[in-house]
Amino acid sequence: MPRRVDHEERRSKILEALISVATREGLHAVSLRSVAAEAGVSLRLVQYYFETKGGLMAAGLARLERVSHARWADRLAALPQPPGARATLDALCAEALPTDPASRDFHLLWMSYTVLALTDPGISDRVFVEGPARLQRRIVEILERGKAGGEFPASLDAGGEATLLLGLIHGLGTAVLVGQQTATNAAACLSFHLDRLASGTAPPGTTGPAAR
């Protein structure tokens, strides 16, 4: 009897190979052939599942997003249940900063993918819009939950603050990655910002962690 093919296992193996090649050699070294060699499969098999380099790259980015959200979920699972809105956002901020090999790889590859999408017409830029848009909507939901539960002021503009928080997370993550900020200071800045949201105060000019 023929062995049943596990297509998800094959796809996962190929995507793991993509991430390995990209983190080790850079996205410029990624091709269908190099990923096939890394995965130990035929080029035809990679083409069967992903068709083009653009399709492979988009699937790889989606995998990175899933892994990051799974790590966030693991952080939440370790907290007293159910975690509050503030604790949920604290866990998001902690996961978003590149402080270990997995989160550094995620941030580095995300930045590299973005540059590639802007310069290579074969790579869709939609994944770079859709992923952050999904996260922004999630942050809005968390802030609204926090407002309903009294963790954040009822007057808080959840949509506007979600936009600002997402920008702050991305900016500080990049600053940590390139060494412009330490992970400790970046985490303190994010905590300071969430404290400000919880208190309903306007951002002070020079009293945040970055000014110390």
Rounded-to-integer distance, Cα 31 and Cα 52, Å: 9
- pLDDT over 80 at 53, yes or no: yes
- pLDDT over 70 at 125, yes or no: no
Average of per-residue pLDDT values in the chain: 86
- pLDDT over 70 at 5, yes or no: no
Average pLDDT (9-33) is 88
- pLDDT over 60 at 212, yes or no: no
Local structure of 131: helix, strand or coil: helix
Query: What is each CA distance from 119 to 24, 57, 76, 114, in whole angstroms?
Result: 21, 14, 37, 9
For the chain, give the percent of residues with pLDDT over 90.
53
Confidence class of residue 118 from pLDDT cuts 50, 70 and 90? Answer: confident
Rounded-to-integer distance, Cα 43 and Cα 33, Å: 6
CATH number for the region 64-200 comes to 1.10.357.10
**Domain boundaries defined on the chain:** 1-51, 64-200
- pLDDT over 60 at 202, yes or no: no
Chain-centre distance for alpha carbon 104: 10
- pLDDT over 80 at 119, yes or no: no
- pLDDT over 60 at 207, yes or no: no
pTM above 0.85, yes or no: no
pLDDT at residue 176 in the model? 94
Rounded-to-integer distance, Cα 82 and Cα 79, Å: 8
pLDDT digits (tens, 9 = 90+) for 131-169: 888 999 999 999 999 999 999 999 999 999 999 999 999
Rounded-to-integer distance, Cα 212 and Cα 189, Å: 11
- pLDDT over 60 at 205, yes or no: no
Helix 53-77 / helix 101-119 crossing angle, nearest 10 deg: 150
Compute how many other C-beta atoms are within 10 angstroms of the C-beta atom of residue 90. 19
**DSSP letter for each residue of 44-111:** HHHHHHH-SHHHHHHHHHHHHHHHHHHHHHHHHHTSSSSP-HHHHHHHHHHHHS--SHHHHHHHHHHH
Superfamily of the domain at 1-51: Homeodomain-like (1.10.10.60)
Q: Which class for 64: exposed (0-12), middle (13-18), buried (19 or more C-beta within 10 A)?
A: buried
Confidence class of residue 211 from pLDDT cuts 50, 70 and 90? Answer: very low
